[in-house]
Chains A and B, each alone.
Chain A
Amino acid sequence: MEYIPNFIFALIFFVGVSVFIRNIRKVILNIKLGKKSDRSDQLLKRARNMALLAFGQSKMIRRPIVGILHLIVYLGFIIINIELLEIIIDGLLGTHRVLAPFLGGAYDILIGTFEYFAFLVIISVFIFWIRRNIIRVKRFWNKEMVGWPKLDADLILYFEVILMSLFLLMNASDYLIQTNYPLQEEYIKVGYFPISKFLAFFLNGISLESLVLIERTSWWLHIIGILFFANYLYYSKHLHIILAFPNTFFANLEAKGRFKNIKSITEEVKLMMDPNNDPYNNNSIDQSVPDKFGASDVMDLEWIQLMNAYTCTECGRCTSVCPANQTGKTLSPRKIMMDTRDRLEEVGKNIAMNGEFKEDGKQLIKHYIMPEEIWACTSCNACVEECPIDIDPLSIIMSIRQYLVMEKSEAPADLNNMMSNIENNGAPWPFNQQDRLNWVQEL
């Protein structure tokens, strides 16, 4: 009978971890629906980018106040996870604060640090909540942020406060048992509780049984909460705490102005321009020419673009700096990422249910993203520059433009005029190429 808690813990932990792994596999499977793109070059530069942006949060500091608050929550998240190790061992072995005897004085320092961080995280999250809900920072209230995205963002904040509070409450009751009931064998005198000892003040005078109950309940709820939160990630915008790392590692390292060359087109254009080529008798045409240019749906995008979509945490920095969005156009780079992710989820579910993708009469363009959004982009790269973890909404916009123009001939009329000018006279305006040097006469 005495091993029942250990067994229950092992079961909960196993289920929690299994579901987590299953969710991550779903994410990976969906990302793999994307087209190939080689990002295995310049490994050192990639590692450096990840170290700076994901580990070092270097781009978050572009907005100093939130940057520092986010840094606190991030460090708190990482550091407090060390505590998780002890919780898991304790849970499986039925021990209490198993690491204390091994670490000695270092244990006190660790617990103290955890407590300071837990407190700072609560403060930061509180400020985040105020920014979202009281100050109503504009980027949290764009059109795409109604309903689930808004609730999701708030829920994550509540989660964090609850998890941190449970941690402190657990320590507070432990501290009280240690001080008021020194004969309790289980609750040996360990740890340094700089924050929870103040919290203990409110629990003073409570019986030993109640304190043990509070301590145990907090402990259980804390670990269950963590496992729940880990599995909530997949259903929320919060996957960035994991995907920020691969996303910055595989990010585009080229100059932002360099838009990728489409090789299959190069082959065709070269053949077209070759005067010796007989179009009716040609065996050299590359049969691997893709059946489709650009992207109308998520499967046409590259895997890195799909990873971008899962990585987006909907902070809206991109949208807040977008010139089109700032001037009231429907384009919002964040919405591009959210739509891509939502459509990818839909396609993933479709495949899981039918074994392969079953035509559902929908696609990314026109059912999620409207051409009006795509054509409002100035390709200014402000969104790409602003994203703290190197998400590239512009590349998706360009892929969709390629589809609209090369597959559907659905460019805005003005652009069609411009393009036929280039084709006919080598300039976007209807001027004669022979007149290119006329300005010299005006010198």
Chain B
Amino acid sequence: MSEKMIQVPTLSELTSKGITPEILFWVGCSGSFDERAKRITKAFVYLLDKMNISFAVLGAEESCTGDPAKRSGNDFLFQMQALANIEILNGYGIKRIVTTCPHCFNTLKNEYPDLGGNYQVLHHTEFLNNLLDEGKLKIDKGTFKGKRITYHDPCYLGRANNIYEAPRELIKKLDAELIEMKSCKSKGLCCGAGGAQMFKEPEQGKKDINIKRTEEALEVKPNIIAASCPFCNTMMTDGIKNKEKDNEIPVMDIAELIMKAKKI
């Protein structure tokens, strides 16, 4: 990614220059700190830059949305996080937010309004799909031609918010072969990370959920497993490693697929 320096302005920098960006990119904790998820963040920022989208991030002013606290049952902590974030967002007069994490997406979109935070919130797959429809980016259809890509639905994008088509349309735009797993869309099996499971050991059982989901993905013999959530990505990547297929089958975020297929 060293073609040119990509500028990632913070909201405070832009505001001091009197610039109001079109969108706020909510990076999220995974996207900021997790090594794997940071690659998704970078891919998305690269695409934003490529399409000349005026955007900004909060940087050090960003803090956890509170999702894992709320799913753990700690509404105090959740609301402390939410109210603090809303104060910052409203202070900047934010109208549109895009995020690469379905958990941040769901919380910002569905749970912040009750606390005074009303924004148009988009998941990056919706956002990218719209931009590609507008022709903002050209896709080199050769990149993934004939590749079998299976898409794992993140629960907080799919069932929680009924977004099933935007990520699929993006895969189709790559001219790749989209193959569905036995359980997909509203019947999609969780990767095992939701509800704050990401941060704890699973309870006693016969198997880990991510292994089961990985087996379902491997059943359809994909060349690539696509995801659109940093947690799902981690879980599926671990699953693929467990099955010793990590050299053959990459787990990729849709933003990374688009980045790879963009025409320079």
Contact = CB atoms under 8 A, between A and B. Distances in A.
Interface of A: 62, 254-259, 261-262, 265-266, 268-270, 272-273, 293-294, 321, 323-324, 326-331, 372, 375-382, 384-386, 398, 400-406, 411-412, 414-415, 417-419, 422-423, 426-429, 431, 433-440, 442-443
A328 B10 contact: no
B203 interface: yes
Given A329-B202, A414-B201, A436-B27, A442 B80 contact: no
16 contacts: A62-B187, A255-B106, A257-B106, A259-B70, A265-B79, A323-B209, A329-B204, A331-B203, A380-B195, A405-B72, A411-B73, A411-B74, A434-B60, A436-B58, A437-B8, A437-B57
A418 B32 contact: no
Contact of A443 (B45, B71, B79, B106): B45
Contacts of A405: 72-74
Contacts of A254: 110
A127 to B, nearest CB: 23
B209 A327 contact: yes
B264 interface: no
B110 A258 contact: yes
Given A269-B76, A380-B159, A442-B42, A422 B209 contact: no
A427 B38 CA distance: 15
Given A406-B75, A427-B64, A323 B192 contact: yes
A380 B45 CA distance: 29
B205 A327 contact: yes
Contacts of A436: 27, 32-33, 58-60, 62
A68 to B, nearest CB: 19
B9 to A, nearest CB: 10
B207 A328 contact: yes
A372 B194 CA distance: 16
B223 interface: no
A406 B71 CA distance: 12
A328 B106 contact: no
Contact of B59 (A326, A401, A437): A437
Nearest to A270: B83
A272 B81 CA distance: 12
A422 B72 CA distance: 12
Contacts of B42: 439, 442-443
A414 B200 contact: yes
A124 to B, nearest CB: 24
Given A328-B207, A415-B199, A437-B59, 7 more contacts: A255-B110, A266-B115, A321-B183, A324-B203, A378-B193, A431-B33, A436-B59
B212 A323 contact: yes
A330 B211 CA distance: 18
Contacts of A431: 29, 32-33
A342 B197 CA distance: 29
Interface string B172-191: 00000000000100111110
A428 B29 contact: yes
B175 to A, nearest CB: 28
Contacts of B209: 323-324, 326-327, 378
Contacts of B33: 427, 429, 431, 435-436
Interface in B205-237: 205-209, 211-213
Interface in B21-42: 27, 29, 31-34, 38, 41-42
